[in-house]
Structure 1
Amino acid sequence: MAKASSKKPRDTAPIDPMPARVDPCLATLVDKPPKGPDWAYEVKWDGHRIAVHIEPSRVRILTRGGYDWTGKFPSIADDARRLAVKTAILDGEAVVLDDKGRSDFGMLQRALGRLPSPYESGAIVFFAFDLLYLDGRDLRRLPLRERRRLLEPLVAGREGAVRLSDEVQADGDEFFRVACEHGLEGIIAKHVEEPYRSGRGEWWQKITCKRRDSFVIVGFEPSTVPGHLGRLLLGARQGNDLVYVGGCGTGWSHELSRELRKLLEGMKTKAPAVALRRKGAVFIEPVLVAEVEYRAWTDDGKLRHASFKGIREREDEAAIFSLSDGTAKF
């Protein structure tokens, strides 16, 4: 009688161990789309960057900074379990779409529950644009075109909470022009021959219709209308400190102004998070982050023509704008 082998069948053993977490590949901001046959284009989604980890006994959803937000995206986790895979890591963006099919960050934040909202968590969908791991194999060493070839059969054509972020075959300049005309945030260009690299580099590039970043809310100025918000006071990171970079006083409705004022009133502090003396300012604990759209920076390092787009918790530190990175040039 033949002796039973102690080795597991080859198809049940992973070729590569599944990473517990992958630092995301980040796009570099450029002025114009790159040109050439090696570049593919996608819509720049206006949401939360997340990675969906599908494992044999569970699904985990991790933020860009590595926080486990599975509980915040139940519909995405549930739909991911239905994919025809044993193990996988999908990279993409969680969004809420408006009535014209555009992603809206403010709608997403309200669906996540920080402010009163008509949107439920089930309205959040995940657009997958990359596949980093599949059924025991680490795909990060493969070029993007190969990773997309493996991703598309898994999620293309789906209408649930997990969907495909389509690549667009077009002239980059023309695609960017059309995206801005339709009120989109911008586009992403990706080099199809490059492997997946964590961190920021030239292999992924973003071209935005307007500049947009995340800043810590360090205080506010009351409106002349009782109970309403006049202006948010904002801070950016500089090393381990926060530095005041100006504020924004537009971008909210009459109703949202009142809701934000009520929320911030409950966070007041006597110890400002930034070095700032401003008559009438109310300082708050630096625990919330504002998504802000703006035109440029002033010569003294303040935001120019800033407009509020949404609010979120500060716990995912990775996205807060940092002056130390040299991103802002005054």
Structure 2
Amino acid sequence: MAKPPKSKPLLRDADKPITSRPRKPRDPAQPNLLLDPMPARIEPCLALLKSKPPKGDDWIYEIKWDGYRLSVHVEPTTIRILTRGGHDWTHRFPAIQQAALWLPVGTAILDGEAVVLDQQGRPDFGLLQRSLGGRGGNKSSSDATLFAFDLLYFDGHDLTRMDLSERRHILEDLMEGAAGAIRLSEEIDADGDQLLASACEHGLEGIIAKRKNAPYRSGRTGDWLKIKCVQSDSFFIVGWEKSMTARGQIGSLLLAARKGDHLVYVGSVGTGFKERDVLQLRNMMDKITLETPPLPYTGARKNVAWLQPTLIAEIEYRAWTDDGKLRHASYKGLREVQDNAAVADISEIRTADDAI
């Protein structure tokens, strides 16, 4: 088993102040920059799935947080917290909102991930879901913490055209004044393979690799890569199989992924459910039943109730079978519509093993 890299700790001492690199004195001959208008929203930069960490000095690494992607807008008179899909969830994260009010900045846009940590200090997607009242719930989570990993706007200046290393420099300085439910997602100086092995040993989801000299570009451009310890993706629930042992209980959920404009059956999941998950799922599934399968299906399962493909489940799994089915799948929770979770695309997953 690989030893953890000698670098900053992964999650320990997360509250300890972090010192950024010293700033150079400002050249008085340098003209003051004109102010940029603050954008109402910036489409997020997304990570491309890869099977191995990239090599070379062009990359920096961070922990992959398992939660909800958020952008926090510190505006002159208010705080706005937006989901990846652009929905305003300020009221659902009061602790993050309060922490943003304490930041020593007039205007800013922080990019980060909201998580709830378990007793071992690891992000737990199920705990986050329950703190928000489950899918379709409208509870506020005072347990969520935002791990900020990028700074897109700062005191009247658009930073998206700057290199990541420069944006991180300013972010680290800003986070020295952070408190409460906003923390810095640390840049970790380590070999990618060693860091991935260490993250997996700690029970984390994986790592993120980012090109340090790249500007902030929206979409899945390849500037950011995600490398996972255990695979986890979002799938449509297209049916459910009734339990043969417990009346009214769920035996398994039937799942589908995208393949171009079509849906493809990718197997089922029958583990990971908690009692409250079963009750929530049954209440929602009973309202979206279909007489026939919503996709081509040639399986031999009995007692299947087919569903409209509107519910999106986050599924953890170990691998794919040769015929394109999930192996050792486990249910993690339902994704919110507002989270704009991307349903897994077979073609993207199949190319994740390509060379970087």
TM-score normalized with structure 2 length: 0.81
TM-aligned CA deviation for residue 329 of structure 1: 5.7
**2:147 counterpart of 1:127:** yes
**2:314 counterpart of 1:314:** no
* 1:96-135 alignment, distance < 5 Å: 96-114=116-134, 121-135=141-155
Question: Aligned-pair RMSD on alpha carbons?
Answer: 2.6
Contact 1:50/1:94, CA 8 A, preserved across alignment: yes
Q: Which residue of 1 aligns with 2:20?
A: none
Larger RCO, structures 1/2 (Cα 8 Å, 6+ apart): 2
Q: Which residue of 2 aligns with 1:91?
A: 111
Contact 2:108/2:152, CA 8 A, preserved across alignment: yes
- Give the ranges of 4+ consecutive aligned residues of structure 1 lying more than 6 Å apart after TM superposition: none
Contact 2:54/2:192, CA 8 A, preserved across alignment: yes
Contact 1:14/1:135, CA 8 A, preserved across alignment: no
Q: Which residue of 1 aligns with 2:302?
A: 279
TM-aligned CA deviation for residue 107 of structure 1: 0.7
Describe the shift of the 1:287–1:116 C-alpha distance in structure 2 as closer, same or farther (beyond 3 A): closer
Which residue, out of 243, 247, 251, partners 1:230? 251
Describe the shift of the 1:152–1:31 C-alpha distance in structure 2 as closer, same or farther (beyond 3 A): same
Contact 1:221/1:231, CA 8 A, preserved across alignment: yes
TM-aligned CA deviation for residue 45 of structure 1: 0.3
Which residue, out of 176, 179, 192, partners 2:212? 192
| 1:203-223 alpha-carbon deviations (Å, 9 max, x no partner) | 212111021111122221122
TM-score normalized with structure 1 length: 0.87
Q: Provide the rounded CA distance (Å) in 1 between the counterparts of 2:216 and 2:95.
A: 27
Q: Provide the rounded CA distance (Å) in 1 between the counterparts of 2:190 and 2:254.
A: 41
Q: Which residue of 1 aligns with 2:70?
A: 50
Q: Which residue of 1 aligns with 2:6?
A: none
Q: Provide the rounded CA distance (Å) in 2 between the counterparts of 1:136 and 1:85.
A: 10
Describe the shift of the 1:261–1:34 C-alpha distance in structure 2 as closer, same or farther (beyond 3 A): closer
SS at match of 2:222: strand
Contact 1:157/1:163, CA 8 A, preserved across alignment: no
Segments of 5+ residues of structure 2 without an aligned counterpart are 1-30
TM-aligned CA deviation for residue 159 of structure 1: 4.4
Query: What is the identity, as a one-letter code, of the residue corresponding to 1:93?
Result: E
**2:71 counterpart of 1:66:** no
TM-aligned CA deviation for residue 163 of structure 1: 1.1
Query: What is the identity, as a one-letter code, of the residue corresponding to 1:279?
Result: K
Query: What is the identity, as a one-letter code, of the residue corresponding to 1:269?
Result: T
Q: Which residue of 1 aligns with 2:50?
A: 30
Contact 1:229/1:257, CA 8 A, preserved across alignment: no
Contact 1:23/1:198, CA 8 A, preserved across alignment: yes
Q: Provide the rounded CA distance (Å) in 2 between the counterparts of 1:139 and 1:213.
A: 31
Q: Provide the rounded CA distance (Å) in 2 between the counterparts of 1:200 and 1:161.
A: 28
Which residue, out of 327, 330, 334, partners 1:304? 327
Q: Which residue of 2 aligns with 1:7?
A: none
SS at match of 2:221: strand
Q: Provide the rounded CA distance (Å) in 2 between the counterparts of 1:265 and 1:289.
A: 12
Query: What is the identity, as a one-letter code, of the residue corresponding to 1:18?
Result: M
Contact 1:41/1:187, CA 8 A, preserved across alignment: yes
Contact 2:68/2:339, CA 8 A, preserved across alignment: no
Contact 1:264/1:284, CA 8 A, preserved across alignment: no
Which residue, out of 16, 36, 58, partners 2:36? 16
Q: Which residue of 2 aligns with 1:292?
A: 315
Q: Provide the rounded CA distance (Å) in 1 between the counterparts of 2:258 and 2:284.
A: 21
Query: What is the identity, as a one-letter code, of the residue corresponding to 1:296?
Result: A
Contact 1:287/1:313, CA 8 A, preserved across alignment: no
Q: Which residue of 1 aligns with 2:19?
A: none
Q: Which residue of 2 aligns with 1:6?
A: none
Q: Provide the rounded CA distance (Å) in 1 between the counterparts of 2:311 and 2:42.
A: 25
Query: What is the identity, as a one-letter code, of the residue corresponding to 1:104?
Result: D
TM-aligned CA deviation for residue 314 of structure 1: 3.2
Contact 2:84/2:340, CA 8 A, preserved across alignment: no
Q: Which residue of 2 aligns with 1:175?
A: 195
Contact 2:103/2:178, CA 8 A, preserved across alignment: no
Query: What is the identity, as a one-letter code, of the residue corresponding to 1:320?
Result: V
Q: Provide the rounded CA distance (Å) in 2 between the counterparts of 1:165 and 1:138.
A: 21
Query: What is the identity, as a one-letter code, of the residue corresponding to 1:111?
Result: S
Query: What is the identity, as a one-letter code, of the residue corresponding to 2:256?
Result: G
TM-aligned CA deviation for residue 120 of structure 1: 6.2
Contact 2:59/2:211, CA 8 A, preserved across alignment: yes
Q: Provide the rounded CA distance (Å) in 2 between the counterparts of 1:65 and 1:146.
A: 27
**2:311 counterpart of 1:328:** no
Describe the shift of the 1:157–1:44 C-alpha distance in structure 2 as closer, same or farther (beyond 3 A): farther
TM-aligned CA deviation for residue 284 of structure 1: 3.1
